[in-house]
Amino acid sequence: MLTGLDPRLAAAVRHFWQTRRRQGSKQGAVSGRRDYGSRTEVTGGKHLDGFVTLLHNLLVESGLPDAAILRQRSKLVLPGFFRPTKQWDLLIIADGKLLGTLELKAHVGSFGNNANNRAEEALGNATDLWAAYKNGAFQPSPQPWLGYLVLVEEAAASTHPLKPRSPHFPVFEEFEQASYIARYEILCTKLVRERLYTAACLIVSDKEGGLRGRYREPSSELSFANFVGSLSAHALGYATGRLSRS
């Protein structure tokens, strides 16, 4: 099932950059107003749809029924514990049970302003979901699979080593001279090792190469193959059990 992943992932990367470029050129065509900076390219949404479609198809190939894989915005809402609800990017719900939850993010430009926000979002979303699960929000669901996938632009601003500023106490050693891409690798690795997420995936791509589907994966531990391998095993386990019960 996992054979031929590279060209399929390349197609999702290419869709991401093509959609951003198309939205950037069309934004404000009717109203005459344009968002500032790279916000122009993302306010239309849809730029991660290639990844959503790929994950959807891989889950179907793993044996899950199509109806169990939810991607319509109105059906992607789950109750929270510290807040009323949260909208996710892909849900797997079968027989009234929450099997999986996925969060997909991208970071292009404005690294200094948004990198910490992305980390806070990832931590907060996981903390809220597990608290809701612990307190019975998804009964009678077994422990769901929780995944985090992020695509980060490879550019001079994201690859340049940085010196963290911490006037009172030293930062952890791994953050010393770490670029923004390196910080994302640290973040995703810790999210999994601290068991906040079942699996995480980090994909890096530059604007020009990305339009041709080019990308790289800084960490084999955070590779797309590992990510979907874990997700597919979880889905296959449910599908196999479902068949044995029927």
Query: Which of 179, 167, 170, 41 has the alpha carbon at shortest distance from 111?
Result: 179
Distance CA 150, CA 99 (A): 21
pLDDT, averaged per 10 consecutive residues of the chain (246 residues), comes to: 85 96 64 43 64 95 90 94 97 93 94 90 98 96 96 96 93 94 97 98 96 96 96 83 52
**Cα separation values, 126 from 99, 186, 197, Å:** 15, 17, 7
Distance CA 106, CA 100 (A): 20
Beta strand 97-107 pairing with 145-153: parallel
pLDDT on residue 24: 64
Domain of residue 27 covers 5-245
Look at the chain and report how many structural domains it folds into: 1
Distance CA 93, CA 102 (A): 12
pLDDT on residue 23: 79
pTM of the model: 0.88
Cβ-contact 181, 152 below 8 angstroms: yes
Burial class (CB in 10 A: 0-12, 13-18, 19+), 103: buried
